Amino acid sequence: MKTQYTVALAIISGFGLGAAAIESLHAQAKPPVYVITEIDVTTQEAYMKEYAPKAQAAIKKSGGRLLAAGGKLTVIEGAPPKSRVAVTVWDSMEKIQAWRNSKEFNEARKVGAKYATFRTYAVEGVSR
């Protein structure tokens, strides 16, 4: 009989500890950070051929994910953005800084500067 109580108590304790651990992990989760880039492209064909693939590879290599990119924009309110907009998501500002300081990004940006100007900013997402 004692063994049954011990097993039941162990199961209840394990369940309680597991629930507390999961709740603690959820509380520690950082919200994602989104990078929005407005791009004023001057030479579309060269931009798409020479810059875009390099920029996307640098984002992927550094841990970012491209969520949206393109020139098909719908203005809902206010002044329109530049000719293209790109949105990427990152785990943290530290990863964004590492990407911006990377050799791949800087090499790609040198190419991109020949064909476009950029306005870039980051915004912290909301916790779920």
Q: Which domain holds residue 6?
A: 1-30
| 63 and 113 co-located in one domain | yes
User: Is the pLDDT at 49 greater than 90, yes or no?
Assistant: yes
Task: Determine the average pLDDT of the residues in 24-53.
Answer: 87
In angstroms, the Cα distances linking 7 to 18, 48, 74 are 16, 64, 61
The answer to pTM > 0.75 is no
Residue 95 to residue 77: CA distance in whole angstroms: 31
pLDDT higher than 60, residue 20: no
Q: Alpha-carbon distance 91 to 30, whole Å?
A: 8
Nearest-angstrom CA–CA distance, 54 and 128: 32
Are 110 and 98 part of one and the same domain?
Answer: yes
Question: How high is the pLDDT of residue 14?
Answer: 62
Contact 37, 105 (CB under 8 A): no
Question: How many domains does the chain contain in total?
Answer: 2
pLDDT of residue 88: 97
What would the pLDDT profile of 56-89 be if each residue is shown by its tens digit?
999 999 999 999 998 888 989 998 887 899 999 9
